[in-house]
């Protein structure tokens, strides 16, 4: 049984008040996960700007955007 299936199975055995607690906890976990991703994006926004960003862009253009017909 998968983790999700085990959780759902356990949830089915909870009385309504505990089920509401579980729902609130899951909602809080989802919200905090979203906030963590948003914070990570804010912290890293603009990291590859200026000369460093130009160097990375050049490396991508020179090495990553070429199609090697023999490699596929």
HEC assignment per residue over 17-69: HHHHHHHHHHHHHHHHHHHHHHHHHHHHCCCCCHHHHHHHHHHHHHHCCCCCC
Total number of residues shown for the chain? 72
The confidence score (pLDDT) of residue 72 equals 59
Would you say the pTM of this structure is higher than 0.75?
no
Which conformational region is residue 50 in: left (phi greater than 0), alpha (psi within -120 to 50 degrees), or beta? left
Instruction: Give per-residue pLDDT as tens, 7-23.
Output: 999 999 999 999 999 99
Instruction: Flag whether pLDDT at 68 surpasses 80.
Output: no
């Amino acid at each position: 049984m998968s983790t999700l299936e085990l959780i759902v199975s356990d949830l089915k055995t909870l009385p309504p008040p505990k089920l509401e607690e579980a729902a609130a906890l899951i909602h809080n976990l989802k919200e905090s996960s979203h906030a963590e991703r948003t914070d990570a994006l804010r912290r890293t926004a603009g990291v590859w700007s200026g000369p460093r960003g130009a160097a990375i862009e050049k490396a991508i253009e020179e090495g990553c955007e070429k199609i090697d017909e023999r490699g596929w």
